[in-house]
Amino acid sequence: MNQASANQQRLMARAKAVIPGGVSSPVRAFGSVGGTPVFVARAEGNRVFDIDGTDYVDLVCSWGPALLGHAHPTVVGAVQAAAAQGLSFGAPTSAEVDLATLIRERVPAAERVRFVSTGTEATMTAIRLARGATDRPLIVKFAGLYHGHSDALLAAAGSGLATAGLPGSAGVTEATAAETIVLPYNDVAALEETFVTHGERVAAVITEAVPANMGVVPPAPGFNEAIRRVTTEHGALMIFDEVMTGFRVGPAGWWGVEAGVENPTYTPDIFTFGKVVGGGMPLAALGGRAGIMELLAPVGPVYQAGTLSGNPLATAAGIATLQLADDHVYDLVNRRSKEVQDAVGAALTQAGVPHVLQNAGNLFSVFFRDEPVRNYDDAKAQDTAAFAAFFHAMLDGGVALPPSAFEAWFLSAAHDDEAMQRISDALPAAAAAAAAAR
Ligand SMILES: *Cc1c(COP(=O)(O)O)cnc(C)c1O
């Protein structure tokens, strides 16, 4: 395991004295890989720099937002210009209109867009909206999928809960948990059976466009379409969580990649966006059919609000990011993603480490097991000790991976040949460490 510097260890001790676990979000704590988290001082392009000035090629990219690379000068410039005009007004701005328009141009099915500050708020609002629209209580979600940390959505959730091996969260009442039905992913029969029994009481099925919070588990061909068909048959809504995939896997997110924008093979009722759409600032959104979205206050009876919603600095970052994220950017990220997958696969094969690489567009992750992963049970059956050894050896080699076996890896348009070389150079020792840890 890499040895954190005395500096880092001292800071972690100070952090733990004032912040639970020393972190503002659990996965950052290195809980499942061991050791002391890297405290980051700054980031630029494909690199993050820790408080000692050591740099790492970053494959976390802030868990997705840094599609263009860190501190892109145009995005930073846009935020600085916005900041000079005032940080927050609590009043509507033209920038919100511009960003909502950019979103609708890319995802025409998002006819109306409401801005919030986090992905958690976006999915929480989507669920309230679905219940308000249908006057039904139940929500269906899939095991291992993560939709933020609102009470209704924490059952069998991925991301930090998967990393920590938790079934759910303390503090969620039985009454709330009972209104969420959890099904295995990629299982159309289970979905159909649930609707036969509970169909008249289900407000919505919420799904990640591509599950990427238990590692990347692509939807089986036709699975998202099946969700659309079953929900339509029973008068329930389909909520498509693109917080991770939206504007990252393509200009119109996974919906654009899989369903197509022109004559889509399926269209969800409500989309949720986050991460890339805020360009690294706290901004997220939900969008969908006008008839549903206009049930939101002040037009309709479903209440939702936010002091900092549509914040001018965040909208400026989002606009600059979407304007820069053209076909060239997506081609570049797709290509780099493929290069990293090939290099990782070759190194692990060479070292004799069982592994499966899974991808959906440029999103990918590595499972340390020899069978494909179709659902959460499969994802849990991987060698997390091998991952921990691999992770720390990569860190020693100057490459920062997500500190969990249950997360996607992220590339950006700023990952250049030099970054690729650093990754290639670090891989043999990391693969050997994984082989030794099995
Ligand atoms: C990150 C994520 C969320 C939660 O977003 P936050 O901004 O962390 O609250 C919701 N859904 C998916 C699919 C995510 O990846």
Q: For this structure, is 383 an active site residue?
A: no
Q: How far is CA 311 from CA 25, 119, 280, in A?
A: 22, 15, 13
Does the pTM surpass 0.85? The reply is yes
The confidence score (pLDDT) of residue 190 equals 97
How far is 56 from 395, CA to CA, in rounded Å? 7
**Which residue has its alpha carbon closest to ligand 1 atom 11?**
147
**Do residues 12 and 50 lie in contact, with contact meaning Cβ atoms separated by under 8 Å?**
no
Residue 215, C-beta contacts closer than 8 angstroms, at least 6 positions apart: 358, 365, 366, 367, 373, 379, 382, 405, 406, 407, 408
Is any atom of ligand 1 closer than 6 Å to the C-beta of 311? no
Nearest CA to 82 out of 308, 252, 314, 285 is that of 314
How far is 27 from 309, CA to CA, in rounded Å? 25
Pocket test for ligand 1, best of 213, 217, 276, 363 (most atoms within 8 A of CB): 213
Q: In angstroms, what is the span from residue 160 Cα to ligand 1's centroid?
A: 11
- Mean pLDDT, consecutive 10-residue stretches, the chain (438 aa), reads 81 97 94 94 98 97 98 98 98 98 98 98 98 98 96 86 79 91 97 97 98 97 98 98 98 98 97 98 98 98 98 98 98 98 98 97 96 95 95 98 96 98 98 96
The confidence score (pLDDT) of residue 2 equals 55
**Do residues 145 and 323 lie in contact, with contact meaning Cβ atoms separated by under 8 Å?**
no
Is any atom of ligand 1 closer than 6 Å to the C-beta of 28? no
